[in-house]
Amino acid sequence: MIDFTNALVDYGFVYGGANGKKIGIRYNDEIYMLKFPAKGKNAELSYTNSPISEYIACHIFESLGMDAQKTILGTYKMPNGEEKIVVACKDFTSENTVLQEFAYIKNSILSTSNSGYGVELEDVLFAISDQQIINEEELTEHFWNMFIIDSLLGNFDRHNGNWGVLYNKKTSEAKIAPIYDCGSCLFPNPSDETLKLFLENPEELEERVYTFPNSALKINNEKINPYKFINSLKNVDCNSALLRMVPKIDFNKINQIIDETPYISDIRKKFYKTMIKMRYDKILIPAFNMLNKINCGKTQFFHFTNTLINGIILYDLWRYYESNIIKGCKEPR
């Protein structure tokens, strides 16, 4: 239990963003951004649980082998005496290294007039391919890896202003920034009482898998539904990320992170574990299994065509492929 109330405030570090107050502090001789919960958007909750979401989500990303911002939970006593749960996020910039949000990178693409903060998927992917600051393949892979795990965690606010690149002004070298700003994961708005009602109602839980939250990204000005998009298998890079990330998901590690998170109730812990597992089972796994089944079929199909005897016609080949090879592939889990 860490009390940040008397931490030294460094007024030279100020931070933007719309969700909740932020101040720069020095903790253990390092700079952290201290994030306060935003005001709740409904009458049942005065303040959101966004610091909790930030803390857990960053640790889950890290458990998957992805570079994520270091986060520490604690408390802070406000001037009016009210104590709030806060999250300290380690500042990953330095004297020579600055964060370039993807919105700024996208805004520098002269071949398009679209805003840097525009979230049409087609425009975002075009900017990734057209930017010159970092390797396109590396940035594409990172973008879709992040999309898959954001879908697992129900992140509804991964826009162009909360992911990006670290640029060294002295060496002109760039690398992908640690994953940060995850306070919109894991349903930060409902109260414990509401979460208890959700857990008692399977329809409420399934609605939070299949219907919402949607991604901040859009197609034809409509927010992307993660379930429909991932299971459409239409985007090859998204498919590749799914095959990369699903085998890395370890529920022993995820549940341990949640169980060891301070300040939250057993009901909230149960809800987090339930929702993550449901979204894994119902969003990621069906698409993952189908991709593996297709890949299995392709492998066996190519093997079959290499040993094909003369005289078989193309129609018979496809009929044999569909009825015997695809159906014979097992669906791994």
b/e map 109-128, b = 16+ CB within 10 Å: beeeebebebbebebbbbbb
* Interatomic CA distance for residues 105 and 114, integer angstroms: 12
Give the pLDDT confidence score for residue 295 in this predicted structure. 82
Give the pLDDT confidence score for residue 44 in this predicted structure. 58
Ranges of residues in the chain whose predicted pLDDT is under 70: 18, 40-46, 297-333
Give the pLDDT confidence score for residue 136 in this predicted structure. 97
Domains and CATH numbers, the chain: 8-290 (1.10.1070.20), 291-326 (no CATH)
Give the pLDDT confidence score for residue 306 in this predicted structure. 52
Give the pLDDT confidence score for residue 22 in this predicted structure. 94
Residues in the chain: 333
Residues 6+ apart with CB under 8 A from 129: 136, 140
Give the pLDDT confidence score for residue 55 in this predicted structure. 98
DSSP per residue, 63-106: HTT--B--EEEEEEE-TTS-EEEEEEEE----SSEEEEEHHHHH
* Interatomic CA distance for residues 212 and 185, integer angstroms: 12
Global pTM reads: 0.89
> In 3-state terms, what secondary structure has residue 240?
helix
Give the pLDDT confidence score for residue 14 in this predicted structure. 86
Give the pLDDT confidence score for residue 332 in this predicted structure. 45
Backbone dihedral region of 8: left (phi > 0), alpha (psi from -120 to 50 degrees) or beta? beta
Give the pLDDT confidence score for residue 309 in this predicted structure. 46
Residues 6+ apart with CB under 8 A from 302: none
